[in-house]
Structure 1
């Protein structure tokens, strides 16, 4: 009888111990341990992040950082940190969080367009991936890379086709550049290259002219016509006389690309710069901005017409009046000047 009582006591103690152990395991490993109220939270782990760096990022996101640390040590996560963007879900356990941080690096949608310079592009991209703007700019400006791939410092921007791309957040500057070169080569497929050759322009020249076209008109349905004007002038060796190139030349000369210039003055036309197409014939040395794909394709498929001039149309905001003769253009231009004087656009 006495022995039975001892055995019963042992069994009961074992059950209590097992219960305590089960509760500990559940509470430490399997119980929900998030403290945020939203459905998800992003965690960005840098390439050189330490375990302590991760802990500090997680501290405001979990209820019990000590229990997380216990499980992380047991699962050897502390010695195998993975860089990337990770999405934690509300109600995750320590086990779920660690599994996510180890193997669920989520891509991001990287978007860029309308950048005027490599500096602007580097700054825009650096806000979306881990690589900083300085490393991006240095990588994109590397002279050996540019020469090897048919670019010059003035045309380097032409390698970047504006679009939405999928990247991992922990992308390096070199990886970003390599991917953009592949996208450039994919964009300039046989059809586009054949069209560029047909109009006697290189892909970089098409990009350069497309930048002018886009700066001239925001109306996509007018871009082929504007491109046709510039191609008519270019083919006859007439100076392009493009106001956006003058604005770019003035900004570049003064080193002030943040400045907004709404009106080109006569003195601006005398700016001595290869980008000033009022002063120098032919295309500028490189693009004055990053054109949309629609502007690039507008150049490749420019409208065949006899227009050589155009000026903003006050009667149809955003669009232009086109002219075949200088006399007609001057009449259109005078009407435009009267309008800008009336509304008070000075600079």
Structure 2
């Protein structure tokens, strides 16, 4: 075979291979360069939350992506991280949904551009329930959050006791960052409370002859008692009437608070010795028993003008209001009769279900 012919073939094949390599390399490089800034490099089918509890590296990010079953090119991601310099990711919470370029995806976490989390504070809560609903939104646990309300230094700094601080946990929806500390969270809610309590509120409290802390305490009782929004001003008027006449409040929610549980009260519960039990103490309890909403605070500051002194629950979830104790006794008996009937119906239904179950098993 002619040596010159072989050399010509080898050169042709070499040139073809070289051109193919250049084409492939160019295509790969072009795709990678394109993905640096185009929204097609990393795709999230659904909203995905990435959490870093500390400064993290690329390997940790890749582990999280794998845990969430996010498809991506590991080699290309590492190349992009090296080229762009986005290799360390700040502590925080980052939310992704849809498609991203490597630049937008990695830079967000490197720069620590967190996505806020929505925190809902409900009215009429307990400190334990508030802690259980708030803490999962952040890096800390419930014990860390509860500790703020027992921190004597912090309480002294705010000039509040535990109940007064909790009473100021204004019901609202807040946007906060996952990395916020327990005190950051409490401080933000306190700032919103202070912003919402206008000078007009303070002036109205003064006209009523009470400090704002006393108004907040009364509002907390109204919050716990009122199941219907339209009853709040009537209930607050009733409680203010009792105080003005030198009567004890005798508010059932204060007994529930003293007992530490929400349930139907028994006769002996009313004798439970506790500084918050308004069946045994005169005037208002030492502090709020829950966190009232702004509407309840307003209702407490602007009570209905009436002569009601007594109320008892009714089957509709509201109350029957009366002016005399005799009227109250009559309505209370009606309520007890209704409760006994409900208990009878419940037991009858349970017995029927048991009989049907026994029949099926026989």
- TM-score normalised by the chain length of structure 2: 0.81
Aligned to 1:3: none
Aligned to 1:45: 52
8 Å CA contact 2:167–2:220 kept in 1: the answer is no
CA drift of 1:297 comes to: 1.3
In the alignment, the residues of structure 1 paired with residue 137 and residue 90 of structure 2 have an alpha-carbon distance, to the nearest angstrom, of 18
Aligned to 2:340: 341
**How do residues 42-191 of structure 1 correspond to structure 2 at under 5 angstroms?**
42-59=49-66, 60-79=69-88, 81-103=89-111, 104-114=113-123, 116-191=125-200
Higher-Rg structure is 2
8 Å CA contact 1:109–1:165 kept in 2: the answer is yes
Aligned to 2:274: 273
Q: How many residue pairs end up in the alignment?
A: 329
CA drift of 1:19 comes to: 5.2
Q: Structure 1 residue 237 and structure 2 residue 246: aligned?
A: yes
| Aligned CA distance change for structure 1 residues 18 and 195 (closer, same or farther; 3 Å) | farther
CA drift of 1:286 comes to: 2.0
Please say which of residues 68-77 and 279-288 is displaced more in the overlay: 68-77
Please say which of residues 156-165 and 95-104 is displaced more in the overlay: 95-104
Q: Which runs of 5 or more residues in structure 2 are unaligned?
A: 1-10, 347-362
State the Cα RMSD in Å.
2.9
8 Å CA contact 1:217–1:318 kept in 2: the answer is no
In the alignment, the residues of structure 1 paired with residue 306 and residue 318 of structure 2 have an alpha-carbon distance, to the nearest angstrom, of 17
CA drift of 1:270 comes to: 0.8
Q: Which of 212, 217, 231 pairs up with 1:222? A: 231
Q: Deviations over 1:161-189 (max 9, x none)?
A: 11011212222223222222211211222
In the alignment, the residues of structure 1 paired with residue 74 and residue 143 of structure 2 have an alpha-carbon distance, to the nearest angstrom, of 35
Please say which of residues 61-70 and 333-342 is displaced more in the overlay: 61-70
Q: Which of 18, 21, 35 pairs up with 2:26? A: 21
Q: Deviations over 1:224-278 (max 9, x none)?
A: 0001000111223311111111122222xxxxx4xx51x2211111100111111
In the alignment, the residues of structure 2 paired with residue 285 and residue 65 of structure 1 have an alpha-carbon distance, to the nearest angstrom, of 61
Q: Deviations over 1:124-157 (max 9, x none)?
A: 2112223322222223332122122221123220
- TM-score normalised by the chain length of structure 1: 0.84
CA drift of 1:15 comes to: 8.7
In the alignment, the residues of structure 2 paired with residue 106 and residue 343 of structure 1 have an alpha-carbon distance, to the nearest angstrom, of 50
Q: Which runs of 5 or more residues in structure 1 are unaligned?
A: 1-5, 252-256
Aligned to 1:329: 328
SS in 2 for 1:91: strand
8 Å CA contact 2:277–2:285 kept in 1: the answer is yes
Please say which of residues 233-242 and 44-53 is displaced more in the overlay: 44-53
8 Å CA contact 2:170–2:190 kept in 1: the answer is no
CA drift of 1:47 comes to: 4.1
